[in-house]
Amino acid sequence: MATINITGSTFNETVDKGGIVILDFWAEWCGPCKMFGPTFEAAALKHPDIVFGKINTEEEQELAAHFQIRSIPTLMALKDGIIVFNQSGAMMPAQFEELIKALRDLDMEKIKADIAAQDE
Per the annotation, the verdict on 13 as an active-site residue is no
In the chain, what are the domains?
A: 4-119 (3.40.30.10)
Query: Whole-model pTM?
Result: 0.92
What was the pLDDT predicted at 120?
78
- Which of 15, 21, 33, 51 is the catalytic position? 33
Per the annotation, the verdict on 57 as an active-site residue is no
Instruction: Indicate whether 1 pLDDT > 80.
Output: no
Q: What are the tens digits of pLDDT across the range 23-70?
A: 999 999 999 999 999 999 999 999 999 999 999 999 999 999 999 999
Instruction: Indicate whether 107 pLDDT > 80.
Output: yes
What's the rounded Cα separation, in Å, for the pair 50 and 44?
7
- Which of 30, 76, 77, 100 is the catalytic position? 30
Is residue 115 helix, strand or coil? helix
Q: CB–CB of 70/57 below 8 Å? A: no
